[in-house]
Amino acid sequence: MKVLTTMRRVPDLDARVHLRSDGEEIDYDGVAHKENYFDEVAVECAVRLREAKVATEVVAVCMGPSEAKINLRKALAMGADRGILVEVEEQDLDPFLVATLLAKIVAQEEPSLVIMGKLGVDFENAQVPQMLAEILGWPSATFAFSVEMQGDRLVVGREVDGGSAYFSMPLPAVVSADLRLNEPRYPNLPGIARAQAKRLDVTSPEELGVEEGRRVKSVRFTLPPERKAGAILESVDDLVIKLRDEAKVL
Amino acid sequence: MSNVLFFAEHSQGSLRKLNGPALTAARQLATRVGGQLIALVVGEDVGAVAQAVARLGVDKVVCVDDAALRDYLPRRYASVVAEVAEDEDAEVVLAAVTTLSKDLLPRVAVRLEAAMISDVVDFLDEDDAPAFVRPMWASKLFEVVTAATDVVCLTVRHTAFAAQEESGRVAPIAAASPEIVDDGTTFERFDAVESARPALTDADVVVAGGRGLGSAEGFASLEPLADLFNAAIGATRAAVDAGYCPNDWQIGQTGKIVAPDLYFAVGISGAIQHVAGMKNAKTIVAINKNPEEPIFQLASYAVVGDAHKLLPQLVEALTKAKA
C-alpha cells in the first residue's frame, strides 16, 4: 500500500518573536526554520511501515516556500521514496486551504493511508488531518501513539483525556501523529546522499486547481505582557512564609 | 435568527467541569449575535447530563440519545453535530478545548462550510465583526482572527473564562434524532489512567515535575506535596518521554493547558513548550538546582537546590504552617 506523509517547515520556537506593520505580520527575518517535530514523527511512522513491508511506497508532501525543499529532503533522507512540494509563499496557510490542497494530492496519488503531524508547532491549529478526512469521507484517528495493521484494518491507539483509547478502522484513513508514536531517526550519511537523487516534484495551488479558499482571516498579532520574575528565596521556610503571607495560598 | 450551539462534553455519565467556563464564553457570544444559547448533549443514556446542563443558564438543551453514539466516533459525531447545528440555525458552534472537541469540530466545520478557530481565549470586535484571540507559537504570541464565513466553529480554553454558575432556571430539553453517518470505525477499548487525584484541568493546585527528578521513583516523590493540597500531578514532555509518568499528565503546548491558583514546578527547566501550558497559573513556585534555567524568569518564588532534599523539607514546613 502507498502511504502519504507530510513535512512542514516551521520557525524555531525558541527564536525571539518580532512583529512588523503594527502587528499585521510576523517578522521572520533572521528566524531559523526547521522541520515540524510532529511531522518528523509521522514520516518516521510511514518509513517504519515501509521497512516492515506493510507500505510499498512513501510519498512526502510539503506546503511551503521554495526553501522548504531542504525540509522535504530531510523526509527523503529519513527514508521516504519521493517528495511533492506545493509551492506557496505564505507561512500561514489557512488549515482548510491546506486540507483542500492535500485532498487534491490524495486524488492524484491515491494512497491507502495518510499520516501527518498532529499540529504545526507555530500556529498550533491541529485541524488539517480531521478536515482532510472529512473532505475525503475517510475515517481518521488523531493524536496517535500506536499504529498497527490487523488484517485489513488499521488499529490506532489515541491519546485522549484520561487515558488511551483504541480504535479500529478500514482503509483508506487519515492518522495524526502524537509524541509517543516513535522517536524520529536522524538521517544517516547514506540516507542523505540517496535523498539528493530521489524525485522531488514541485507543484502549485493553481496547478492543483485550488483557488483562494480561506475561511479564517488573520487580522493581527500581539505580544503578551512579560511576566516579571519573582524572588529567589534562601530556604523552604522562607518559601512557606511567602506562600502564607504574600500569595495567601495556604 | 442566529443561535449559538454549545457541545457539552461528558465523561462517565457526568458533565465535565470545564463546560462551566466554556458556557460563559458561549453566553457572551449568544449575547453578541443576539440569539439563543442551545446546549447539545450527544451519547447513550445521557438524560442526567442533559438535566445538568439545563441548569447552567442555557435557553434550551438538545439531546441526541442513541446506542450508536455510546462511544465517541469522529464521523458519527460530526454528522450529528452538523445536522443539529443546521436545524437550530447555529451561527456559532463551540466547545471547551479537550482531546475530543479538538478532534470533532474541524470535521463539523467542513460539513457546515464554516471557519474553524482553535483555542480561543478572548472575543473582540473588529469593524463590527466578532474577532477571536488565540495563543500560538507556544503562547509567545496571540493571533487575532475573523471568520470569512457565515458560520464559525470554535474551541475555547476553559482557563480563560470564569465558570457559569447554576441559574435558578431549568431550560427545556428536546430530543433530536439526526442521521448518523458511519465510516466503519469501531471503538475497541479505553485504558484509563487511574488516579484518586483531581483532574489536571480542574485542580486548584498543580504539582509538576520534570526531567530533573531523575527517575520514576524521583517523580513519585512529588506525591506527599500533592497530598497536602489535594493537588493534581503534572509533568513536562521530557518527563513523559523518559517514562516517569503517563502522557495524560503532560502539561504544555502538546499536552494540557492549566491555570491553577498555585503551581509547583519541580526539576523543570522551563522550556517554552512546557511554559505554554502553565504560564497563566497565579502563583508559580520553582524548585531547581540550576538558577540559570528559564523557569526562574517566570516563577513568583524560587528555591535553588536539589529537589530530593528540598521536597521533604518543604512538606514538613508546610504541614506545620497549615496545622
Q: Is the pLDDT reported for residue A200 higher than 90?
A: yes
Phi, psi (degrees; rounded to nearest 5) at B75: -70, -40
CATH of domain B200-322: 3.40.50.1220
User: What pLDDT, on a 0 to 100 scale, did the predictor assign at position B125?
Assistant: 87
Residue B62 contacts A where some CB pair is shorter than 8 Å: no
C-alpha cell at B193: 489512567
Q: Which of A99, A159, A239 shows the shortest C-beta gap to B247?
A: A159
Q: What angle do CA B242, B118, A116 make, to 5 degrees?
A: 55
User: What pLDDT, on a 0 to 100 scale, did the predictor assign at position B282?
Assistant: 94
Q: Is the pLDDT reported for residue A92 higher than 70?
A: no
Residues A12 and A32: their CA atoms lie apart, in Å, by 6
User: What pLDDT, on a 0 to 100 scale, did the predictor assign at position A187?
Assistant: 97
DSSP letters for A93-123: --HHHHHHHHHHHHHHH--SEEEEES--TTT
Let me know: does A55 contact A46? Beta carbons within 8 Å. Answer: yes
Reported as a pLDDT band with limits 50, 70 and 90, residue A229 is: confident
Segment A176-199 shows an average pLDDT of: 96
pLDDT tens digits for range A111-136: 999 999 999 999 999 999 999 999 99
Q: A232–B285: do the CB atoms touch at under 8 Å? A: no
Q: A166–B183: do the CB atoms touch at under 8 Å? A: no
Report the 10 Å Cβ neighbour count for A104: 17
Let me know: does A69 contact A84? Beta carbons within 8 Å. Answer: no
- Cα B4 to its chain centre, rounded Å, is 20
Q: Which amino acid is at A87?
A: E
SS3 B73: coil
Helices A95-109 and B99-112: crossing angle in degrees, nearest 10, is 80
pLDDT tens digits for range A13-71: 889 889 998 899 999 999 999 999 999 999 999 999 999 999 999 999 999 999 999 99
Report the 10 Å Cβ neighbour count for B322: 11
- CATH T-level topology, domain B3-175: Rossmann fold (3.40.50)
Percent of chain A scoring above 90 in pLDDT? 89
Q: Which of B107, B189, B247 shows the shortest C-beta gap to A166?
A: B189
| Delimiting residues of CATH 3.40.50.620 domain(s) in chain B | 3-175
Burial call B256-269: b when 16+ CB within 10 Å, e when fewer = bbbbbebbbbbbbb
Residue B129 contacts A where some CB pair is shorter than 8 Å: no
- Cα B49 to its chain centre, rounded Å, is 18
When the pLDDT of each residue in chain A is averaged and rounded to a whole number, the result is 95
Residues B105 and B153: their CA atoms lie apart, in Å, by 7
Let me know: does B25 contact B94? Beta carbons within 8 Å. Answer: yes
| Delimiting residues of CATH 3.40.50.1220 domain(s) in chain B | 200-322
Let me know: does B108 contact B118? Beta carbons within 8 Å. Answer: no
Reported as a pLDDT band with limits 50, 70 and 90, residue A199 is: very high
User: What pLDDT, on a 0 to 100 scale, did the predictor assign at position B1?
Assistant: 58
Percent of chain A scoring above 70 in pLDDT? 99
User: What pLDDT, on a 0 to 100 scale, did the predictor assign at position A213?
Assistant: 78
DSSP letters for B107-120: HHHHHHT-EEEEEE
Q: B310–A140: do the CB atoms touch at under 8 Å? A: no
Phi, psi (degrees; rounded to nearest 5) at A63: -115, 120
User: What pLDDT, on a 0 to 100 scale, did the predictor assign at position B194?
Assistant: 85
What residue ranges of chain B have pLDDT lower than 50? none
Residues A54 and B236: their CA atoms lie apart, in Å, by 34
C-alpha cell at B233: 500531578
Q: B75 contacts in A (CB within 8 Å)?
A: 133-134, 139-140
Burial class (CB in 10 A: 0-12, 13-18, 19+), A215: buried
Let me know: does B205 contact B261? Beta carbons within 8 Å. Answer: yes
pLDDT tens digits for range A12-24: 988 988 999 889 9
Placement of cell 501523529 in the chain: A177
- Cα A8 to its chain centre, rounded Å, is 6
Reported as a pLDDT band with limits 50, 70 and 90, residue A226 is: confident
Placement of cell 478500514 in the chain: A170
Residues B260 and B139: their CA atoms lie apart, in Å, by 17
